[in-house]
Amino acid sequence: MYALARPFLFALDPERAHDFALSALRTAWQLGLNPLLARRPAACPVDLLGIRFENPVGLAAGLDKNGDYFEALAALGFGFVEIGTITPKPQPGNPRPRMFRLPEAGAVINRMGFNNKGVAHLVKRVECSNFKGVLGINIGKNKDTPNERALDDYLYCLERVHPLAHYVTVNISSPNTQGLRDLQQEDALRTLLGGLRERAAQLDSKHARRVPLLVKIAPDLDETGLDAIANVVAETAIDGIIATNTTISRESVRGVAHAVEAGGLSGAPVREPSNRVLGELRRRLPTLPLIGVGGISEGAHAVEKHALGANLVQCYTGFIYRGPALIAESVEAWRTAMSGSTA
């Protein structure tokens, strides 16, 4: 089905295609037509972070920023769905065009800039839903909030989403909000994650519900940067890391149409740098839950991340190019690899 729709979608401007596809998907889901859109993967449960995931393949943040479509997306077979990045106040993001396809490279460049309807909208959407799957909520800061006050924005979002999320992701790795990645530096990170951890613990006892806190990092970190992250995550008892967001590097797409556009590059070219970061984190943090994301476009890529130490994986750009078939293929490849490794 997706193979039929793709030429039509790819003839549209990427952001329009995105909005159109999501609306159509939600309508199909409301009409009960989703079994026609995707073959549901066989069960492949994973227990992590105190949560049971039906399968290890999740949808990465950014596709459903406002929580308008997560039920329909989950019905395609994802083991979990991460919504957001959401900020305290609504904001329009960067001027369009701000999303570009690089089909020869199996990639996308985006400079969306955290366009979103604000945390109150997302909360209302999730509260009105009777969704039974695993929902991660990814939080960020508004563009006009200086880094010195970033913690306030993250705390504001954390307090509102805590009662609704299975886990919360602290996004400090989007390249499209000026200065955001500076929050990955050791001192800033200690203040941010320390403050969030403390408040999360208070919220956990208030709501009698433990909500794990994860941090999402960039693929462009060097060894020193990774050391700093590993140290602070261990010190502040953050529950896990999502590795990685998009890259600012253009090394592997030089000369490709749109490669010079500003923003974060995702898809096939980010697979190698994401995998490097994942492997390095696993070496530094042998038991920490890790979610591997970046460049998965076939089942073997999910297994590759598993071999590097990922407990779960997510995809975004591969899903745009391949459609829901990528989910079942990745789950199946993971299941086969696991049964091989335990045989």
Ligand X SMILES: Cc1cc2nc3c(=O)[nH]c(=O)nc-3n(C[C@H](O)[C@H](O)[C@H](O)COP(=O)(O)O)c2cc1C
For ligand X, which residue of 46, 105, 259, 270 counts as binding (CB under 6 A)?
270
Handedness of CA 130, 74, 177, 183 (dihedral sign): positive
181 binds ligand X (CB under 6 A): no
For ligand X, which residue of 175, 212, 273, 295 counts as binding (CB under 6 A)?
295
Out of 173, 174, 297, 330, which one is annotated catalytic?
174
CB of residue 343 vs ligand X: minimum separation in angstroms? Answer: 30
161 binds ligand X (CB under 6 A): no
CB of residue 268 vs ligand X: minimum separation in angstroms? Answer: 8
At position 82, the amino acid (one-letter code) is E
For ligand X, which residue of 81, 83, 108, 193 counts as binding (CB under 6 A)?
108
Which distant-in-sequence residues (6+ apart) come within 8 Å of 307 by Cβ?
337
Would you give the binding string for ligand X spanning residues 32-71, x where CB under 6 A is met? ----------------------------xxx--x------
245 binds ligand X (CB under 6 A): yes
For ligand X, which residue of 21, 317, 322, 324 counts as binding (CB under 6 A)?
317
The closest of 150, 171, 179, 153 to 213, measured between CA atoms, is 171
Handedness of CA 241, 289, 39, 336 (dihedral sign): positive
Omega into 244 within 30° of 0, i.e. cis?
A: yes
DSSP 90-145: -B--SPSP-EEEEGGGTEEEE---S-B--HHHHHHHHHT----S-EEEEE---TTS
313 binds ligand X (CB under 6 A): no
211 binds ligand X (CB under 6 A): no
188 binds ligand X (CB under 6 A): no
What is the phi-psi region of residue 267: left when phi exceeds 0, alpha when psi lies from -120 to 50, beta otherwise?
left
Residue 211 or 315: the one with the smaller Cβ distance to ligand X is: 315
How are beta strands 57-59 and 107-110 bridged, if at all?
Answer: unpaired
Instruction: List Cα–Cα distances, 65 to 57, 142, 149, 286, in angstroms.
Output: 19, 14, 23, 31
CB of residue 36 vs ligand X: minimum separation in angstroms? Answer: 25
Identify which range of 120-128, 249-257, 311-319, 327-335 contacts ligand X by CB under 6 A: 311-319
318 binds ligand X (CB under 6 A): yes
Residue 112 or 259: the one with the smaller Cβ distance to ligand X is: 112
For ligand X, which residue of 94, 145, 236, 266 counts as binding (CB under 6 A)?
266
171 binds ligand X (CB under 6 A): yes
Determine the Cα angle at 74 with ends 320 and 5, to 5°: 35
Q: DSSP class of residue 247?
A: B
Determine the Cα angle at 58 with ends 45 and 60, to 5°: 160
Count residues contacting ligand X (CB under 6 A)?
A: 26
293 binds ligand X (CB under 6 A): yes
Residue 35 or 104: the one with the smaller Cβ distance to ligand X is: 104
Angstrom distance (rounded) from CA 119 to CA 84: 9
Angstrom distance (rounded) from CA 115 to CA 117: 7
Active site residue 174: yes
For ligand X, which residue of 58, 106, 267, 289 counts as binding (CB under 6 A)?
267
For ligand X, which residue of 296, 303, 328, 333 counts as binding (CB under 6 A)?
296
- Contact residues: ligand X, CB under 6 A: 60-62, 65, 85, 99, 108, 110, 112, 138, 171, 174, 216, 245-246, 266-267, 270, 293-296, 315-318
- Active-site residue list: 174
